[in-house]
Amino acid sequence: MTTGAWYQFNLTVSKSATTNVFDLAGTIYEADSAGIVGSLFSSYSSTATNAGLYTDTSVFASIRAQGNGVGVIDNLVVSQGAAIPEPSTYAALAGLGVLGLAAARRRPASTQA
């Protein structure tokens, strides 16, 4: 893939005839900014097994466009990155720091003999 280029990504996930197994099929086509689809860039097919999703009727995902029915996802990046701490982690560390300062201030002054 080329930075700045346009691509059309299609993914189909469907229940297979085998219980708990899904069929996956994906294609990537080269496209232009007007949405004109060009040649096939890549294709993929596989299966996935998941008993919980297979029987769940409320699981869904969609991308919906209004107006002319054309949807666009811009600057999509899918990658595995380093773990980033949650904001609550920073809040907990700050709270511990404040408790440490409070404990240090409450310590009785040393007496000299």
Residue type for 89, please?
Answer: T
Report if residue 1 sits inside a domain. Answer: yes
Report if residue 106 sits inside a domain. Answer: no
Output the six-digit token pair for 95: 């709270």
Tens digit of each residue's pLDDT, the chain (113 residues): 777 788 888 888 888 888 888 888 888 888 887 777 888 888 888 888 887 777 776 665 555 555 655 556 666 555 555 666 777 888 888 888 888 888 877 766 666 65
The C-alpha atoms of residue 9 and residue 43 are separated, in whole angstroms, by 10
Write down the pTM of the prediction: 0.43
For the chain, what is the domain count? 1
The helix/strand/coil state of 8 is strand
- Asked if 11 contacts 22 with a C-beta cutoff of 8 angstroms, the reply is no
Report if residue 102 sits inside a domain. Answer: no
The helix/strand/coil state of 100 is helix
